[in-house]
Amino acid sequence: MGFPLAITGTGMVTGVGLNAPATCAAIRCAIDNFQATRFVDRGGEWLMGCEAPLEQPWRGKTKLIKMAAAAINECLAGNTRIVPKETPLLLCLSEHERQGRVIDDDNRFFCALQEELGLEFHEKSRIIARDQVAAGVALKHARQMIQELHVRHVLIAATDSLLAGATLAHYEEHERLLTSQNSNGFIPGEAAAAIVVEPVYGKSEPQLVCLGLGFGMEQAHVYSEAPLRAEGLKNAIQESLADAGCELSDLDFRIADLSGEQYYFKEASLALSRLLRKRKEEFDIWHPVDCVGRTGSAVSLIMIGLLKTACEKGFGKGNSILAHMGNDDGKRSAMIFRWHP
C-alpha cells in the first residue's frame, strides 16, 4: 500500500462562491452561475461561462493571482500551525501547450503570487503545469516530500481560467464548447482552489485520507480518431486501487471532472464496465463542473474539497470514494479517498 495522506484544509474561489463553504453549499444545491460572457460564438450568440465575481474587474494573470491568494489564505486561516517557510507550495497550472495561456513565465508568476500573499514558502516549492491531472501529480510529490523532507504540511493550490479569447476560439473551432450551434460541449469557467496535506497520524478527529494514486495515458484521446476503449483511465484506476489495497467494488461512489461532453461520459462508463467485477446496486458519480464550469487545473482540488465537506456534513454517499480526471491530450489520474469518521 502507498503512503496515506490526510486532507486537513481547503480553500476555494469559484463562480458560485468566494470560499470553500459557499462553493460546496452551492454545488450541493445544484446552483450554477452560468451567464453570458463578453465573447460571441460563430452563430452570433453570447457564449455562456462561469466567471468568479471578485470585488474588482481584474483580468488575466492578475485575476489568477488574486484567486489563488484568496484560496491559499483560506487554508492558512484555517490552520494557524502552518509555517509558510517550512511548507512547500505545489502550484498547479494549465499545460504550456494550451491555446491562449496568459501565464508566459511560470517562475515569475509564482514569485508574484508570493508577493501578493506577503509570504515565502519552502525552497522545495514547485510548479506543476499539468492541467486537470496536476492535483494527482502534486499529491504524489507531497507524499515524497513528507516522507523524505519530514515536513509537517504541504500546500497544494491551483488557479486557472478558460475565459480567454484565444482559448475559447480554439475550443469552438474543435466543437468542444457548448454554443448555440453545438449541444455536445462544455461551459468554460475559472476558479482557484487549495488544500492542506499532512501525514496521517493516530488522530482521533475525523479526516479525509488519500489512500491511493494512479496514472495512465489514453491513446484514443478526445482529439484522436482512434476507437475509445478507456485503456488510460482503466490503468489509472487499477493503479490507484492497487496503491490503496482495495477493489473497485469496495468503494461507495465516484467523483469526476466530467464536463458535458459525451466523450468523457463514455470513457467513464467504459472504464467502469471493464473493472467492476461484482454487481453494485448503486455507484453514483458526481460531476461538480455542472455548477462551476470547466475550470482546468483547479477542478481536481475543487473535487477534493467538495469530498471533504460532503463527508464532514454527512451528505456523501459513503466513506470510500474514487476520484478521476483527465486531460485532452490523454493523461489520466485517479485517486482513492476514505473518510475516517
CB-based contacts of 95: which residues, under 8 Å, 6+ apart?
A: 101, 129, 130, 131, 327, 329
Based on C-alpha coordinates, what's the Rg of the chain?
19
> Does residue 186 share a domain with residue 37?
yes
- Domains: count for the chain: 2
Domain boundary among 165, 180, 199: 199
CB-based contacts of 280: which residues, under 8 Å, 6+ apart?
A: 249
CB-based contacts of 7: which residues, under 8 Å, 6+ apart?
A: 195, 196, 197, 207, 208, 209, 210, 304, 308, 337
Residue 204 lies in a domain: no
pLDDT at 283: 95
Cell numbers 513565465 correspond to 105
Tell me the DSSP string of 28-72.
HTT----EEEEEE-TTSPEEEEB----SS---HHHHHHHHHHHHH
Half-sphere exposure of 201 (CA within 13 A, CB side): 9
Query: What does the alpha-carbon distance between residue 129 and residue 90 come to, in Å, rounded to a whole number?
Result: 10
pLDDT at 1: 63
Query: What does the alpha-carbon distance between residue 37 and residue 170 come to, in Å, rounded to a whole number?
Result: 16
Query: What does the alpha-carbon distance between residue 89 and residue 110 come to, in Å, rounded to a whole number?
Result: 10
Which grid coordinates are listed for 97?
Answer: 501547450
Residue 244 lies in a domain: yes
Domain boundary among 164, 199, 234: 199
Query: What does the alpha-carbon distance between residue 326 and residue 263 come to, in Å, rounded to a whole number?
Result: 11
Domain boundary among 199, 232, 259: 199
> Does residue 237 share a domain with residue 171?
no
> Does residue 92 share a domain with residue 9?
yes
For residue 284, the SS3 value is coil
pLDDT at 202: 64
CB-based contacts of 124: which residues, under 8 Å, 6+ apart?
A: 88, 145, 149
> Does residue 116 share a domain with residue 233?
no
- What percentage of the chain's residues is helix, strand, coil (to nearest 5)? 35, 25, 40
Residue 323 lies in a domain: yes
SS (H, E, C) 145-164: HHHHCCCCCEEEEEEEECCC
> Does residue 14 share a domain with residue 106?
yes
Could you say which residues of the chain have pLDDT below 70? 1, 202
Planar angle of CA 194, 265, 185, nearest 5 degrees: 80
pLDDT at 277: 87
Query: What does the alpha-carbon distance between residue 285 and residue 253 come to, in Å, rounded to a whole number?
Result: 6
The CATH number linked to 302 is: 3.40.47.10
> Does residue 85 share a domain with residue 224?
no
Cα→Cα distances 170→48, 165, 318, Å: 16, 9, 39
Residue 299 lies in a domain: yes
SS (H, E, C) 294-336: ECHHHHHHHHHHHHHHHHHHCCCCCCEEEEEEECCCCEEEEEE
Q: How does pLDDT run across 184-240, given as a tens digit for each residue?
A: 999 999 999 999 999 998 677 899 999 999 999 999 999 999 999 999 999 999 999
In the chain, count H helices and then E strands: 9, 12
Residue 51 region, left (φ>0) first, then alpha (ψ -120 to 50), else beta? beta
What does residue 117 show for φ and ψ, rounded to 5 degrees? -80, -20
The H or E element spanning position 7 is: strand 5-13
> Does residue 148 share a domain with residue 245?
no
Note down the domain range covering 304: 209-340
